Structure 1
Amino acid sequence: HKDERFSSTHPSVKIILIALRFISLSILIILLFKPKLLNEIKQVEKPIIVFLQDASSSILNYPDSTYYTSEFKTLIEENNNILSEKFDIYTYHFSDEINEGVNMDFKGKKTDISDAFEEIGNRFYNRNLAAVVLASDGNYNKGINPFYKTSELNCPIFTMAIGDDTPEPDLQIKAVRHNEIAYFENEFPIQFDILSNFDSDQKHQISVINNGKTIYTESLNIKARTPISKEIFIEANNEGIQYYDIIINAFDGERNTENNRQKVAIEILNNLQNILILSSSPHPDIAALTSALEEGKNYKVTKSLFHEFNEEIEAYNLIILHQIPDFTNRNKNLLDNIIKSETALFFIGGKGSKWSEFNKVQELVEVKTKNVMQEVFPIINKDFGPFQLSENCEKFIESATPLQAPFGDVILKEECSSLFTQKIEGITTNNELLFFAEKEGKNWAILLAEGLWKWKLFDYQKNESHDNFNELFQSISQYLTLNKDKRKLRLQYPKMIDEGATFYMDAQLYNDNYQLIEDAEMSLVLTDPSKKEFLYSFSPLKRKYQTSIKNLNKGSYEFKVNSKFKNEYAEQSGTFVVLESKLEQQQQQANWKTLKQLSSNSSGQFILKENFDDYSEIISSNINSNQKVYFNEYLSDLIKQKAIFLLLLLCLFLEWIIRKRLGTH
C-alpha cells in the first residue's frame, strides 16, 4: 500500500532510495563471496644492540677474576641503561650454549663463540641489528673460529678484552693419538705432542701411569715453540678398559699445570680373533702370513685350500683370500657367500688371480691387465689415517724388496684409504698397491701383489728379526677386525666423557646365524660411584638400539646391559669414567688476537679494560642509530571491517527512514 506522498515526491528522492537499496544489496552480495582486504601496518623499530657475555670458567683463570664476579655486572647494567635511551638492548650469556641475561657464576665447562654468533644471527635475522658487544677472553674450545661467523651478523662487533694475553712459561701435552682397542699381552702405540713456549736447560720427565703404577718414564730437553712428537709403546698387561695418564712434570713456578696431564682410555681385549686364510694353491706367502699373525697371540689362524673348504664362515673375524678368484672357478658358491657376509675381507692378488672375475665380485676397484706381472716397490702414503705404523716399520717397507703386481691400470670406483702406491722402474705412480675401504659396515683390504715371503726374509736379513713384517700384517688384521667381534650382544660407547656431556650407548643384538635382531627388549642398569643403581631402557633406532644419560657427575660408573629375545637372554658388563671438565683451564692466556680480528673485520672496536667504564659512549658514537621503518602487509576478511558494516546499516537505516516518512510500507 502506498499513499499519495510517495507518488508525488520529487524524482531525486526516488533516485536516492534506489541508490541506497543498490548499495546495501551490493554490499551483501559482495560479502557472500568472502572477499579479503589487503592491509598495511607501519612499525618503527629502534636500532638493536646485543650484549654477549662469556660465562665460561676460563674467566676465573686470571688474577683480576674477582672484578668480573663482583663489579663487572654493575658496570654492564649502567652502560646498557645509557644505551637503552637510543637503542633496544638484548643481553645474553654463553659458554657452550646461549641463554638470556648475564651470569657472574662463570661455571661454563666449554666455550663456543661461533655458536653464540650463529644463534644471534638467527634470532635477529632481518631486524635492525646495529651492533654486537662481546665481553670475552677470546678463548674457545668448541665450534669453529668465530671469525667465520661474523658475516652472519652483518654489523659491527665491539670486543671487550677480558683477561691477560701476556704469555707465561708453560709446558703442555697436546694431540694425543691412540687406538681404541688393544690386545692382551701385546704392545700398542700412544702418540702425543709436547709443546713449550720457553727454552729450558733442564730435562723434563715424561711419565705414563696405569692403575697407580708408573709404567714408562723418559727425560727430554725442550726448546721454545719446537713441538716434540713422541711415540711410545706400552704393553697391555691388564684386561678390560684401562686408563693411562700421560704426565710431564711441572717446572718450578709454572702457574698452569692443568695441561701437563692427559688421560686416555683403551679397551684391552683377551678374546681370540679367528682368521681364515684361503688360497687357490700352496704358496710361501701363506706360511709368512700365518707365522706373522700367530705371533700376535690374540689370533687363531685357520688355513685351507679354497676348493677344499666346506665349513661355516660366520665364526671368523677376518677372511684372507690369496689369489682368489682363480682360473678354476671351483667352489663359486663359497666366494659368493664370503662377499655377501659381514666378515672383514682381505684380498691378496697375484699371478694366479683371474682379474676379470675379481673385477666382478667386488665394486671397489677395477684392474685392467692381461695378467702380465711386473716388479713394483711400495710408496707409503704419509697421510694414511686408519692406523699408524712405527718409524722402524715404515723404514723397513721403504727399503723392502719389490713385489709382483699386475701390469696395467688400477681404477678406483669407491672412496678408499691408500697405504701403499706403486713405484715402477723408479717412477712413482698413482696406481694403488694396498688400500682399505668400508662399505655397508664391512671392512675391506686389497693388496694387488704377491711375494710377501720375500719381505719376511728381508726383514730378518736386515734386522735379525721379523718384528717389522709382523707389525705390518698384525696392524692390518687388527684394523680389519677392530669392530667385527663375534659377540651376539655388541655395545658401542665412549670410555671417557667430560662432566656435563651426554653419555650415549648403542647396542646391536645378533642371533646364532649373526643376523641382526631389531625387536628385542633391552635395558641398562647403571651403578654410580656411590653404588646407587639406575635403570634405563633402550629405544630402537634404525639398525641399532640407543640410550642416553644426561647430567652425570664425575666418577667411575659400572653398567650391565641385558637383552631378551623370545626365550634367549644375553648380558654384557662394562665401565666408563666421567672426568671433571678442565678444558677451560688448559689455556690460561687470553686470546686477544681473535678479539681484534673480530672487531677489525666488522668495523667495530677492540676495547681494553681501562675503557670499560665508557663502552656505552664508544659504541653509540661509532654506530648508526637510525630507526628502521617496517611496513607489514596482511590480508583480513572484508566482513570484519567495521566501516563496511556501518555503511550497510546506514544505507538500510536511511532507506527505512525515508520510506517511513513517505508512507511506504
Structure 2
Amino acid sequence: MNPKVETLETENIKPVVSVLVDNSISTKFFNEEEQVTSILKEIKKNSNIQEKFNVELFSFGNTTKVLDSLSFSETQTNISQAIDAVAELNKDRINTTILISDGNQTKGNDYEYLTTKNKVYPIVIGDTTQYQDIQISQLNINNYSYIKNKFPVEALLYYQGKSTVNANFSITKDGRKVFSKTLQFSPSNPTQTVTISLVSNEKGLQYYRASISKISNEKNTKNNSKSFSVEVIDEQTKVLLLSSFLHPDLGAIKKSIESNKQRKVDITLINDKDINFSDYQFYVFYQPNSYFKKVFEKINSNYLLVSGTKTDWSFLNSQQLGGIQKQAINQPEEYSAIYNSSFLTFLQEDLGFNQFPPLRDKFGEIQLKKEGQTLLFQKYAGVETQQPLFTSIESNNQKFAVLFGEGIWKWRAASYSKEQSFESFDKFLGNVTQYLASNKKRKRLEVKAERLYPANAPITVSAFYVDKNYQFDNRASLQLKITNTATKEQKTLPFSLVNNSYQVSVEGLSSGDYSYQVSVANQNIKSYGKFKITDYQIEEQFTNANVKKLNSLALKTNGELFYKNNITELLKKLSDDTSFYTVQKSIIKKQNLIDWKWILFLAVGLLALEWFIRKYYGKI
C-alpha cells in the first residue's frame, strides 16, 4: 500500500513586452544613439512596466539577437523578421512589442503587411522632416556579357520634392563617361526608368559607376550613386540536356545551369536526329533507356546522369557507364538526402539537403565498381544508408556524376521557399556543371570570393585545399594577402579551418580596388583574384524616418505610433491597458506518500553502520 498525496502549485505568468531596438548603421547616420539609449533606460526604470510585464530586450539588424550591447553597426535592417521572431518566441503567452526604429527596412518581407496577433507600438527615431531628394533606387544589370556584345543596364530613379527639377544621369568606367542623359522630375512625375545598352569591349571583370547629379537643397547625396560590375567572357559552355520525355526536372535543371550566363542549355528529345554532339562541352542524360544506345556509343565526354522511375536500369547496367550498377526492381521508392561533409571532389556546402522533399527512383541496391566520392547518401523508410543519392566518379580522364532520383524541381522550389531565392540551389548545380564541364587538371587550391562588396559589409574568403592525392588537407597553413591597388597598402591574414574548408573574414577595409593572393605555407601553390569595395552603404540612403509605414503597422496590429519625446505616454498606455494581464496557472502534482528509494537507502545505510560497529567491537 502506498497512497499518493496531491499538491496544488500555482504560478503567476506575466504578459511579455518585447522591446526591439534598431542596431543598424542608419541609427548612427541619424545621430540617434544617445536617444535610443535614453529610451531604453526609461523603459527599464519604469516601475509600473517592470511590475506588470516581463520585459525582454532584443536588438535587430541582419538578424535578431538578445540585447547585450548596442554597436549600431549592422549593415542591413530586417524589421519583419524581428517582429516575427519575438511573436514566435512568445506565441503561448500574452505579449506585445515595442519597436524602436526609423522604419527604413533594407531586407526581408515588407513589414507594413505583416499578419501578427500582437499589438506593435513603434517609437519613431530619426529625422521626420521631409527633404528634397533624388536617388538611384535600383540598378538591374546582367552579371555576364560576351566580348564585343551589348549588355543592358536599367536604372530606376526616384525624386522626392515639391518643385520641378532637372538632373543629369551618367555612367562612368575608369573615370571615363560612357553614357549621359538629362532628366526632368516633378511631384507629378517623381520616377524615371532609364534603359541603356553598353558595349563590352574588354575581357574580364569590368567595374562601372552610375550617378545622378545633386539637386539644390538636397541633404543626402550618398544615394546619388551606385557601382556595379560585369564579367565579360569570350566563350560559353554549351550543355545538352537529353531526355526521352518531358518532365518538370528538365526546366529546373536548365534554369539552374543558365543562372550563370556563361552557360547555355539546349533541351532535346532523344528522337531528334539532328543533334550535333560536337557543339557541346557537357551533357545531362535524363532517365536514359535503350533509345540512348547510339548516344553512349558516340559520347566520350563528361556527363551528369539523372535516373528515376522511367529509367531502364537493365540497359544502363549493360553499358557499364562509370562502373555503376543497380539491381533495380520495378517498384518506386522515395529517397531523402543525407549530406556528407567529407565530400572532396568540389567545395559544396550543405543547403539543408535533409530538409528537401524526397526524390523518386526504382528500388534496388547500387554498386560502384570504380572509386568515387558521394556528396549525398540515401535515406528511405526512415533509415539512413551508405547508398549514394548523388555521387561523382573519375576514371581514365573522364568525369561522371549520377543523381539517383527524379523530382529535383521540388528541391529548387524548396530552396526558394526557405531562402526566398534560387541562388543557393543554382550554385549547387553550377558547381556540378563547373566540375563536369572542365577538362582541365584539377587544381589543388580553389578560392571563392565575391567581386563587389558594399561598404562595411562582411568580407569572407573561403579556400579549398587538397594534397597530392586530391584528399582534403586539414594540416595546411593558408594565408590571405590583400593589396589596395591605389595606395599599395597590404594586409595579411591567416585562414581558419571550418569543417572541410578554410575561411577568413576581413574587416576594416576602406572603399577601393583590391587584389588578393592566397598562398599555402611551404608549398609553391598560389591563387590570385581581385574585388572592389564600393562606398555605397544601403543604410545611409534614406533622408528621413518612414513614419507612414510605421504608422500603418501600428494601426494594422491595433497598436499606436509614438515619437521619441512622448515615451512616458506609451508606458502609461501599456500600464493601463487591461488586455495585458497576469495569468495564474495551477499545477497538480501527485507524489507517493512513501518514497521507496529513500527507505531503501536508509535501510542499506543502517545495515552498513551496524556491520561497521559489530566489526569494530569484534562481534563478527
What TM-score comes out, normalization by structure 2 length?
A: 0.58
CA deviation after TM superposition for structure 1 residue 629, in Å? 1.5
Equivalence for 1:599: 554
From 253, 264, 279, the equivalent of 2:228 is 264
Equivalence for 2:107: 142
Give the distance between the partners of 1:538 and 1:578, measured in 2 at CA.
25
Partner SS state of residue 587, structure 1: coil
Give the distance between the partners of 1:538 and 1:254, measured in 2 at CA.
48
Equivalence for 2:539: 584
Give the distance between the partners of 1:37 and 1:578, measured in 2 at CA.
70
Cα gap change, 1:603 to 1:528, in 2 (>3 Å):
same
From 555, 560, 579, the equivalent of 2:517 is 560
Give the distance between the partners of 2:10 and 2:305, measured in 1 at CA.
68
Equivalence for 1:453: none
Give the distance between the partners of 1:539 and 1:506, measured in 2 at CA.
9
Cα gap change, 1:600 to 1:509, in 2 (>3 Å):
same
What TM-score comes out, normalization by structure 1 length?
A: 0.54
Note if 1:51 corresponds to 2:19. Answer: yes
CA deviation after TM superposition for structure 1 residue 531, in Å? 0.8
| C-alpha contact (below 8 Å) 2:495/2:502 kept by paired residues | no
Give the distance between the partners of 1:333 and 1:483, measured in 2 at CA.
19
CA deviation after TM superposition for structure 1 residue 245, in Å? 1.0
Equivalence for 2:616: none
Cα gap change, 1:37 to 1:334, in 2 (>3 Å):
farther
CA deviation after TM superposition for structure 1 residue 84, in Å? 1.8
From 31, 40, 47, the equivalent of 1:81 is 47
Note if 1:535 corresponds to 2:494. Answer: yes
Cα gap change, 1:182 to 1:202, in 2 (>3 Å):
same
Give the distance between the partners of 2:80 and 2:274, measured in 1 at CA.
60
| C-alpha contact (below 8 Å) 1:173/1:261 kept by paired residues | yes
Give the distance between the partners of 2:435 and 2:200, measured in 1 at CA.
16
Give the distance between the partners of 2:294 and 2:65, measured in 1 at CA.
68
Give the distance between the partners of 1:107 and 1:439, measured in 2 at CA.
29
Equivalence for 2:63: 97
CA deviation after TM superposition for structure 1 residue 248, in Å? 0.7
Note if 1:217 corresponds to 2:180. Answer: yes
CA deviation after TM superposition for structure 1 residue 318, in Å? 6.7
| C-alpha contact (below 8 Å) 2:48/2:575 kept by paired residues | no
Give the distance between the partners of 2:239 and 2:12, measured in 1 at CA.
77
Note if 1:231 corresponds to 2:184. Answer: no
Give the distance between the partners of 2:130 and 2:23, measured in 1 at CA.
23
Query: Rg bigger for which structure?
Result: 1
| C-alpha contact (below 8 Å) 1:83/1:620 kept by paired residues | yes
Equivalence for 2:9: 41
The amino acid of 2:429's aligned partner reads G
Equivalence for 1:132: 97
Cα gap change, 1:182 to 1:234, in 2 (>3 Å):
same
| C-alpha contact (below 8 Å) 2:94/2:580 kept by paired residues | no
Cα gap change, 1:646 to 1:571, in 2 (>3 Å):
closer
Give the distance between the partners of 2:193 and 2:509, measured in 1 at CA.
34
| C-alpha contact (below 8 Å) 1:209/1:215 kept by paired residues | yes
Partner SS state of residue 85, structure 1: helix
> CA deviation digits over 1:386-440, x for unaligned, max 9?
xxxxxxxxxxxxxxxxxxxxxxxxxxx9969xxxxxxxxxxxxxxxxxxxx9898
Partner SS state of residue 566, structure 2: helix
Equivalence for 2:529: 574
CA deviation after TM superposition for structure 1 residue 228, in Å? 2.5
Equivalence for 1:108: 74
Equivalence for 2:429: 441
Partner SS state of residue 119, structure 1: helix
Cα gap change, 1:509 to 1:133, in 2 (>3 Å):
closer
| C-alpha contact (below 8 Å) 2:158/2:191 kept by paired residues | yes
Partner SS state of residue 604, structure 1: coil
The amino acid of 2:452's aligned partner reads M
The amino acid of 1:554's aligned partner reads S
| C-alpha contact (below 8 Å) 1:138/1:592 kept by paired residues | yes
How many aligned residue pairs are there?
Answer: 446
The amino acid of 2:169's aligned partner reads I
Give the distance between the partners of 1:189 and 1:482, measured in 2 at CA.
30
Unaligned runs of 5+ in 2: 241-262, 265-272, 285-290, 307-406, 411-424, 605-620
Partner SS state of residue 221, structure 1: strand
CA deviation after TM superposition for structure 1 residue 66, in Å? 7.8
CA deviation after TM superposition for structure 1 residue 169, in Å? 2.2
Cα gap change, 1:485 to 1:310, in 2 (>3 Å):
closer
CA RMSD of aligned residues (A): 5.2
CA deviation after TM superposition for structure 1 residue 50, in Å? 2.4
Equivalence for 2:123: 160
CA deviation after TM superposition for structure 1 residue 110, in Å? 2.1
The amino acid of 1:219's aligned partner reads T
> CA deviation digits over 1:180-230, x for unaligned, max 9?
233444433222212223476554212212223323222223344453222
Give the distance between the partners of 2:48 and 2:297, measured in 1 at CA.
82
Cα gap change, 1:318 to 1:178, in 2 (>3 Å):
farther
| C-alpha contact (below 8 Å) 2:481/2:490 kept by paired residues | no
Equivalence for 1:612: 567
The amino acid of 2:515's aligned partner reads E
